Structure 1
């Protein structure tokens, strides 16, 4: 999608133009167009027992055609919702591709969701069919009576009561299926927000969302694809980061993906996987990088990895993490920014010198990203305001599912407002300040937590940090830091003084935490973001 980078970032922006056809289908683009080559590798599945099975695009076309026929035979039609409650595995990809080719709407669901979260999402979207495994089927059995729209539950590893055998039905189905001629603007996918700002909302995306992601994926992986590229992420494919930052963009380009998600992330095992399979491109969320950074180098084994690129998004990284990435992997981690409703709109790209410590990068070609005030007027460079994206934009969602009021509230004029604060420099680099409700107002200063967290994790005693504002009668708010330490604290008072001086010296007297709490873990969303609302409740 990006033009040749013969003239750096400015040339990419100058020469870029969108090519969105009237008729477009994700399933055809990401799978079927490559399937005429019987040997072209699509997926490397590392099973839980460590064994490997490879799938070609030809096999994925055949298997997805079979499941599309199964769905059609059971009455699933264009526009119906098909929920997918599975980890990273071939059946997840097969279910997505089949759903898109049928013209139905895929609804990915995270396997760690409890029954209340599943009931809300399945009920809200009125899913007609669900694909899951036996672990998921046991959860669904508890709430099945509360989901009148849910007619069919397909299980990939057996056939519990009131469920259907995914594999047996697939074996019986025809390999031949004619994909529905969907338009680029037809609905394809509902991804529920992670719920950090209230009740989760279903962001409805069109088929064009894959095309909209391509420039950002290509930029964040230093002009992806390059010969020999192979992608992997520990992020679950139920989230936009796993599905549309890795799996589907890689397949658009005919690049194979490694499928394996650890039940519990291990920095050492992640490096082992990267080295064993020759992964060249990884999307590693900030939490994964922080865990890697906290692992002793001799235990981590990063020297065995031959990564070409690491991209990361979800939380700002900061200068300390970027320095660690260069020292450890011999590359510059490319940070990117976006959200479920409008993703991959800002990115770094070391290969074309779009890298600046403390910045997320610049607007990805094709996206008009501005810093605006509450009336929709763009702010002057260097001023803090709301990060916003001008519509229309191919990567932008259609609307929130059955939530017209929330959709309207997402816009100021033709700007989609992210809910995050940032500022843009004269050079176009955009800096993340914090979520609108995360910014700390202390003694007249507006302070973003990200910079303080980055400073704190540079201290040798600190593994992870979460910073919030705590109400204070004198200052309005004071800065409080919640810290996970590398080793148990023996002298809290001495460490607190040391940490305060560390931040005061490096950042400024108005930005050092006046209170500290030493904790075993930080509350995180399923996508690895710090839940500062929970920290405020703890304060």
Structure 2
């Protein structure tokens, strides 16, 4: 936990990691608070109305029962447990139970199709799975590809499962859980024991399983506390539209909040509705939110606001927001967004905190206390301010993952001497602020310039006709690559050659002559990962297929 210092320099100077010899995430986030009356989860219906409050005591008992019953079913320490559920009570219970057992949780996104699920479940060798009736048919279709999957618990399956379900290892979640014992001794795990596999978004090749140890929660805490204004404070209440299947929802919100005894709103949004999200936060008195860039852009496009909103902190990460979006949020949401930076493998290592130092629009912020971050060259040397290189994190660091699951070749590629490589390019300025330039494989080389797409996209987004934008490089015989922009227009705006010229000039006059898109393609939508990141690789592959 961050020290209670009043300046960033003091935070850095006073911070010390406190990593115990034995640590179990499950016991930490539930049993620690079981003797209090604190609320752990606030459950809602589809409309965002509160339906139930779950205490830490209840969460502790439920997770104990599930852990006990899974052990009696033959699931052992180190076995993988898939969790294919939206934000829900059963999701939290399943995670906590898996950690208590010393098993390895494998969160899975409910919008995955059969092939995506089959790859992750087969690759991880999942022994058990917790899902619901809505997603069970997808599992049934791929079951013959999953020889290691023996047990499936269905959260809403009581009375609705097929007569032969139990013979096939499919059981209703709650009746099965009720047979477990209320007490369960958490496995004496060490910080480096495996706890979690989160599969990357898959922007390059097949998704890779990022294996984290129990230490990952402790490593995340400073990176959560810093952008959320030295979280927690009295009265805090956390929510995110990000699914708990992703590191942003699970380790940036759910688990750190429970660690601190702060309640979390569990609200399932089948499709993100900007105004409904704002209204729900106002109604439930949400004080802290992680809002991904895509959600914020949709909020701005809809001008979503509610005068009853009482947010204390908003963090965002994944893509640079831009000055205009941050200004809109300050006006409509009533809070300065603190941007942060990290990845599935090594998350929340750079962040802003407007209370400690003035954010620079477009900057990712400064290194979070406890993490040493630098921009390095191909030899592993730290680069001076202003020079473009690869963003890297110094090892050892408790937030860095244990490695890719069954993929040693990929592990080796991420190391350069004592540094762990992010694969992102960036710069650091004279004041110590980090600036994102782009994925190493997203960098555009044009007329001798190395150009990151993020700055171009941010500029495109300031044009009043543009709702979403992506920039890539396409082959060019003279420049090596020329810049092509894919544009999703705002509702009510119509594509035309004149508008394309206007957008080109908009960028040319705001950035530089070598950075404006010489090509504009108007599209209905952009390819996105399940976490809301633009899949530029997909656009590049489509462009190559044109020639």
Q: Secondary structure at the match of 2:426?
A: strand
Please state how far the C-alpha of 1:491 moved relative to its aligned partner: 6.0
Aligned positions of 1:415-426 closer than 5 A: 415-426=419-430
Provide the residue aligned with 2:406 in structure 1.
402
Q: Would you say the 8 A contact 2:438–2:452 is kept in 1?
A: yes
Match of 1:213 among 211, 216, 220: 220
Superposition TM-score, scaled by structure 1 size = 0.97
Provide the residue aligned with 2:473 in structure 1.
469
Q: Would you say the 8 A contact 1:23–1:184 is kept in 2?
A: yes
Provide the residue aligned with 2:46 in structure 1.
48
Aligned positions of 1:247-262 closer than 5 A: 247-262=254-269
Q: Would you say the 8 A contact 1:386–1:418 is kept in 2?
A: yes
1:113-154 deviations in Å (ceiling 9; x for gaps): 111111111111111100000122111111111111111001
Please state how far the C-alpha of 1:537 moved relative to its aligned partner: 3.1
Provide the residue aligned with 2:5 in structure 1.
5
Q: Distance in 1 between matches of 2:495 and 2:147?
A: 58
Aligned positions of 1:266-281 closer than 5 A: 266-281=273-288
Aligned positions of 1:71-86 closer than 5 A: 71-86=70-85
Provide the residue aligned with 2:138 in structure 1.
139
Q: Would you say the 8 A contact 1:457–1:463 is kept in 2?
A: yes
Provide the residue aligned with 2:119 in structure 1.
120
Q: Would you say the 8 A contact 1:9–1:354 is kept in 2?
A: no
Q: Distance in 2 between matches of 1:28 and 1:259?
A: 20
Q: Secondary structure at the match of 1:287?
A: helix
Q: Distance in 1 between matches of 2:108 and 2:418?
A: 31
1:90-116 deviations in Å (ceiling 9; x for gaps): 000000000101111111111111111
Q: Choose 48-57 or 83-92, whichever is displaced more.
A: 48-57
Q: Would you say the 8 A contact 1:193–1:203 is kept in 2?
A: yes
Please state how far the C-alpha of 1:354 moved relative to its aligned partner: 4.7
Please state how far the C-alpha of 1:433 moved relative to its aligned partner: 0.1
Q: Distance in 1 between matches of 2:448 and 2:327?
A: 32
Q: Distance in 2 between matches of 1:510 and 1:399?
A: 39
Stretches of structure 2 lacking an aligned partner (at least 5 in a row): none
Provide the residue aligned with 1:282 in structure 2.
289
Q: Secondary structure at the match of 1:450?
A: helix
Q: Distance in 2 between matches of 1:53 and 1:489?
A: 43
Q: Would you say the 8 A contact 1:320–1:454 is kept in 2?
A: no
Q: Distance in 2 between matches of 1:244 and 1:216?
A: 10
Aligned positions of 1:87-126 closer than 5 A: 87-126=86-125
Q: Secondary structure at the match of 1:526?
A: coil
Q: Distance in 2 between matches of 1:304 and 1:263?
A: 24
Q: Choose 371-380 or 93-102, whichever is displaced more.
A: 371-380
Alpha-carbon distance change, 66 to 514 in structure 1, aligned in 2, over 3 angstroms: same
Q: Distance in 2 between matches of 1:247 and 1:55?
A: 14
Q: Secondary structure at the match of 1:175?
A: coil
Q: Secondary structure at the match of 1:217?
A: helix
Q: Distance in 2 between matches of 1:261 and 1:490?
A: 33
Q: Distance in 1 between matches of 2:506 and 2:289?
A: 33
Aligned positions of 1:1-400 closer than 5 A: 1-6=1-6, 8-37=7-36, 39-48=37-46, 50-158=49-157, 159-160=161-162, 161=165, 162=168, 163-295=170-302, 297=303, 300-400=304-404
Please state how far the C-alpha of 1:330 moved relative to its aligned partner: 2.2
Q: Distance in 1 between matches of 2:496 and 2:541?
A: 22
Please state how far the C-alpha of 1:226 moved relative to its aligned partner: 1.3
Alpha-carbon distance change, 63 to 532 in structure 1, aligned in 2, over 3 angstroms: same
Please state how far the C-alpha of 1:303 moved relative to its aligned partner: 2.7
Q: Secondary structure at the match of 1:237?
A: coil
Q: Would you say the 8 A contact 1:86–1:133 is kept in 2?
A: yes
Q: Would you say the 8 A contact 2:305–2:332 is kept in 1?
A: no
1:350-386 deviations in Å (ceiling 9; x for gaps): 1111511121001100001111111111111110000
Superposition TM-score, scaled by structure 2 size = 0.96
Q: Distance in 1 between matches of 2:504 and 2:123?
A: 47
Match of 2:514 among 510, 514, 533: 510
Aligned-residue Cα RMSD (Å) equals 1.2
Q: Secondary structure at the match of 1:60?
A: helix
Q: How many residues were matched structurally?
A: 534
Please state how far the C-alpha of 1:412 moved relative to its aligned partner: 0.8
Q: Would you say the 8 A contact 2:323–2:361 is kept in 1?
A: yes
Q: Distance in 2 between matches of 1:148 and 1:491?
A: 51
Q: Distance in 1 between matches of 2:263 and 2:411?
A: 36
Please state how far the C-alpha of 1:266 moved relative to its aligned partner: 0.8
Q: Distance in 1 between matches of 2:406 and 2:540?
A: 31
Q: Choose 136-145 or 85-94, whichever is displaced more.
A: 136-145
Q: Distance in 2 between matches of 1:490 and 1:463?
A: 12
Q: Secondary structure at the match of 1:76?
A: coil
Q: Would you say the 8 A contact 1:280–1:308 is kept in 2?
A: yes
Q: Distance in 2 between matches of 1:51 and 1:17?
A: 39
Q: Distance in 2 between matches of 1:212 and 1:487?
A: 42
Please state how far the C-alpha of 1:494 moved relative to its aligned partner: 1.6
Q: Would you say the 8 A contact 2:24–2:190 is kept in 1?
A: yes
